[in-house]
Amino acid sequence: MTGLNRRRLLQGTAGAVLAASTRAAWAQSKPEKLVLVCENSVGWKRTLIEEAAPAFEKATGIKIEFTMLPVDAWRARLKAELSAGSTGIDLAMLSVQMAGWMSPHVLDHNEVVARITARDPSFAWDDFLGGSKLAGTYDGKMVGIPYRLTAGIVHYQKELLQKAGFDQAPGTFAEFEKAALAVNAPPTRYGFGLMGKQGAGTFTNSIPWMFSAGGKLLDFKTGEVFINDKAAATGLQFYADLMLKNKVVPPEATTWEFDEIIAGAQKDRYAMTVTFSSYGTLFNDPKLSQTGGRWAWATMPGHTAKAQGRTIVDGQFMAISRYSKNIDWAIEFMRMACSKEAMLRSMEGGNAPPRASSLRDPAMVAKLGWPAVAAEAIENGIPTPSNPAWDGLELSLRSAVSQTLLGQKNAKDALDECAREWQRNLRRAGVAK
């Protein structure tokens, strides 16, 4: 079935379901549009933008207006407008780390789910992974319905590694370094791709290496900081040395973030990377990528043993602003956009839906490859912190990682300065004395 026909099928089916379930909502005042604020990574939102929103508009006459911003601007926009009680936002996408400060400004989505399932039992709330519900909960309040659950995994061009003598993905840091050097072929293709731009991708791209070396972040209950311990520094230094010492990273990777790591894979600029699991769909699609069909996936290598490998678990949730004047209509859109059918379809557009039925769908596992690896990685992964103080702490960590990648400081010195800044921030936040 062509993409156009699939979109028409989804829109037609969704329109029929909506028409049967929104009669009560239609008796209310109907807005011209609902405003959804989100970050500007388009790939994994393709189904949401190109299929779910048009289907909703066809059924209701209400347009979904997407306000898409770079990550930091997205967070700043939500903070500013929601803190002011603005009614100009109906829906928002939020990441795990935003849950703490977003919580007072959004509905309790346990109640939203109750309304959806009362109207539409096929929504199947039990189908959502327990870990996704936990990640979307802050102080007992569910801040949104899970839409995307991501984990950092190894993406690698299998044939290149096999030709270099590696029958499987590297299981340790030493094996990873050896493989990266073996497949490094500058200036055309390099061994490893990373997000080297100091920005929103810095933390998610570098922290799996620190976790896999045994590193930790901090304890928000006690205020104790661990980010500068020997293990974390070992992981960060290894990550930076792939660029500085081993020269297996494309030079332009210092400007790369989310879209660029995808484009780099599609343009065959590197043989291996560690990034979000769902990016594998975009890497491996022959219609989008020069390297389509070449990619395989594995969980993170460990420092000295495969079992030490750990990754970051993050995700995004669709939330309804408590200040919206169009809550009933927003709930209807959420019901459709997060349905089983829409989420299964979204996998082909690069999403990583948190529904068990999607990740375990035999056809999708066979077609995409990465879902089973993602599920394994999530089992022992470490969630992004959601404490409101984390945003400020992450900025300091970005600087430390960037200084290490650029060779301005070694990892231990950079993380020592980061730890001092964290301690000052935690004292100001009342987390530590």
Sorting pLDDT into bands at 50, 70 and 90, what band is 8? very low
Q: What are phi and psi of 20, to 5 degrees?
A: -80, -15
Q: Which fold has domain 3-149+315-379?
A: D-Maltodextrin-Binding Protein; domain 2 (3.40.190)
Taking phi over 0 as left and psi of -120 to 50 as alpha, with beta for the rest, 61 belongs to: left
Q: How confident is the model at residue 28 (pLDDT cuts 50, 70, 90)?
A: low
Work out the percent of the chain whose per-residue pLDDT is above 70.
93
Across-strand partners of 68?
38
Given the structure tokens 């043989």, which residue do they identify?
Answer: 271
Hey, what are 83's tokens? 């803190």
**Distance between CA atoms of 60 and 15, rounded to whole angstroms?**
8
Containing 194, the helix (H) or strand (E) segment is none
Name the band, by pLDDT with cuts 50, 70 and 90, for residue 347: confident
Summarize pLDDT for 232-254 with one digit per residue, the tens: 999 999 999 999 999 999 999 99
- 23 pLDDT above the threshold of 70: no
Reported as a pLDDT band with limits 50, 70 and 90, residue 381 is confident
Pick among 3.40.50.720, 3.40.190.10, 3.40.50.300, 3.20.20.140: CATH of 150-312+386-428: 3.40.190.10
**CA atoms in the 13 A half-sphere facing the CB of 161:** 26
pLDDT digits (tens, 9 = 90+) for 134-153: 888 998 999 999 999 888 99
Tell me what percent of the residues of the chain surpass a pLDDT of 90. 76
* CATH 3.40.190.10, the chain: domain bounds: 3-149+315-379, 150-312+386-428
Q: Is the dihedral of CA 201, 268, 366, 175 positive or negative?
A: negative
- pLDDT score at 379: 78
pTM: 0.78
The HSE-up count of residue 128 (CA atoms within 13 Å, CB side) is 21
pLDDT (mean) for 91-112? 95
Q: Which of 205-219, 280-294, 323-337, 380-394 has the lowest mean pLDDT?
A: 380-394
**Exposed/middle/buried for residue 301 (C-beta within 10 Å: 0-12, 13-18, 19+):** buried
What pLDDT does residue 130 have?
Answer: 83
Instruction: Enumerate the H helices of 220-339 as residue ranges.
Output: 230-244, 258-266, 279-284, 327-337
